[in-house]
Amino acid sequence: MQEQLKKAEERMNRRLDHMCQDFSEIRAGRANPAVLDKIKVDYYGTPTPVNQLAAVSVTEARTLTIQPWDASVLKQVEKAIQTSDIGINPQNDGKIIRLIFPPLTEDRRKEIVKDVQKIAEETKVQIRNVRRDTIEKLKAMKKTGDLTEDDLKLGEKKTQDLTDKFVKNIDKISADKQKEILEM
């Protein structure tokens, strides 16, 4: 039973980490290097992440600078950013690329908050699916005689407690992200 609960907690942690990663990639009007994480540049025939080709830094609240270590890759980085879906036009001065994040409108903030709520709700569903799978495994263990009725009830309660803990954590992280977006 302990092994099943440990596996369930690991799976729930992975779902929570994935949600946090998704939240970090949400463009919220502030310069955040994480928006470049999914952008790959063709570097000598190999798709390479921008942060492995250049120094990426936040110079001002809404400005991100990208300074490639190899100047010959500047045009490819600029092209990769333009073709990505981040919605920001890069400014190239020949040595560095600047990404200037425009301030968000109130409507756009509300759309982003809806996206955050949707991601959080999807994560809760995934957490509940882990709970369901774990309880099914515990019931199967009882059928095979590996668990007693009392152990099954205890396992179900611990699984529910774990689920409640993760759902509460998701709600808190989601509320913090929504507050961050609306206060900018």
Q: How far apart are CA 74 and CA 53, in angstroms?
A: 9
Predicted TM-score (pTM) of the model is 0.70
Q: Yes or no: is domain 33-100 CATH 3.30.530.20?
A: no
Q: Which CATH number fits domain 2-25+105-183: 1.10.132.20, 3.10.129.10, 3.40.50.300, 2.40.50.140?
A: 1.10.132.20
Task: Find the range with the poorest average confidence among 29-38, 39-48, 64-73, 123-132.
Answer: 29-38
Decide if pLDDT at 183 tops 90: no
Q: What tens digit of pLDDT does each residue of 15-35 get? A: 999 998 888 777 666 777 877
- Tokens 């020949």 belong to which residue? 94
Q: What tens digit of pLDDT does each residue of 84-140 get? A: 877 788 888 888 899 888 777 888 888 889 999 999 999 999 999 999 999 999 999
Q: Where are the domains of the chain?
A: 2-25+105-183, 33-100
Bridge partners of 66, per DSSP, are 56, 97
- Please compute the mean of the pLDDT values over residues 49-58 and round it to a whole number: 87
- Fold agreement between 2-25+105-183 and 33-100: no
Q: How far apart are CA 105 and CA 172, in angstroms?
A: 25
- Amino acid 110 reads K
Q: What is the distance between the terminal CA atoms of the chain, rounded to a whole angstrom?
A: 46
- CA dihedral (40, 43, 48, 54) in degrees, to 10, reads -90
Residue 184 binned pLDDT confidence (cut-offs 50, 70, 90): low
